[in-house]
Amino acid sequence: MEKRQLGRTDLHVSKICLGTMTWGEQNTEAEGHEQMDYALERGINFFDTAELYSIPPKPETQGSTESIIGSWFKKTGKRSDVVLASKVVGRTANEWFRGGRPSRLVRADIMDAIDKSLKRLQTDYIDLYQIHWPDREIKFGANPNRLNEVPAPLEDATPIAETLAVFDELVKAGKIRHLGLSNESSWGVMRYLAESDKGVGPRVQSIQNAYNLVNRLFEVNLAEACTREDVSLLAYSPLAQGYLTGKYDGGALPEGSRKQLFNRLQRYETAGAAEAFLAYNNLARSFGMAPALFANAFVTSRSFVTSNIIGATTMDQLKEAIDSADVTWTEEMQKAVDEIHQKVGNPCP
């Protein structure tokens, strides 16, 4: 499988990344191990996780995904075959991450997070350690369709330079190799880069934001900023939490689906979303392709996407997602997608 350079690092990651957030909730340890075995066989060398996972977040399962990856490393001895990415939570009132208190992007909390993650992952280092979301108040996902008012700065917001200094410690201690962002805005990316350009902490190498057929907002501002600054996009939610597979078309609610189990898909249940999903899913079918294959191929084909983070709860889903790496994206497909996008815009930011 094609490998692409991660930021300005010497790391080259597969254009498909194995997402892991269902392991420990919808998937067992054995199923997680099976997915990692198969992904490696197919040429994937990039795994993404987070201290938050599994999803949906709750204290009973927090950290379970990292533990499953750690037990696979111990069993297989294949840590060196994998570029491993994980994340520290941003500002949150949830107290289970830090043992009974809210969490912020301050030194004590980041140090607590990295040490716990390393222990669960059974490794001495994380290749790419990402800030899951900012310390400041911001819409999750960072790229709203509209913003009537910019939130005022929080009185106790952690300065970016202060957070970067902690990551500098982690790099020097050998606990992480590189820094990445997630759910960030153009302003946030450029502020981190400005501080590192002044010599404060490591340079940001990646950003993990949502990107898919119903949310192409990364293309506005962020694509240019990240391309010119060599910040790699690691695109998450390529299937819009399952809506771009077609399984929810017409109001269907399959047994065992994420919506049926957890009812947490409100991000993709906005005005105009159902019509947009049906249009794209039917377009895929008109090309003789399964909607999921089509939607994943669209994301992977973008010139500004370094790696497409796929996720699956079954092996059949995983195989189809990885197969999308072999799809040739044509001008005809792009023209048809753009015609729909012109009509429906970005209904699911």
Q: What is the Cα–Cα distance from 246 to 300, expressed in whole angstroms? A: 19
**First-to-last CA distance in the chain?**
30
Q: What is the Cα–Cα distance from 106 to 126, expressed in whole angstroms? A: 19
Residue listed under structure tokens 């992952």: 121
- Give 49's DSSP letter: -
Task: Give the active site residue among 38, 53, 192, 280.
Answer: 53
308: Cβ–Cβ under 8 A, 6 or more apart, which residues?
Answer: 15, 16, 17, 235, 238, 296, 299, 300, 324
User: By three-state DSSP, how is residue 207 classified?
Assistant: strand
Helix axes 273-286, 331-344, angle to 10 degrees: 160
Query: Is 53 part of the annotated catalytic residue set?
Result: yes
Residue listed under structure tokens 């889903």: 317
Nearest alpha carbon to residue 315 among 15, 37, 1, 13: 37
Strand residues in the chain grouped as ranges (E): 3-5, 12-14, 16-19, 46-48, 83-88, 126-131, 176-182, 204-210, 232-236, 305-310
For the beta carbon of residue 80, count every other beta carbon within 10 angstroms: 7
By the 8 A CB rule, do 172 and 197 touch?
Answer: no
Q: What angle do CA 28, 55, 123 make, to 5 degrees?
A: 65
Q: What is the Cα–Cα distance from 47 to 300, expressed in whole angstroms? A: 16
Catalytic residues: 53
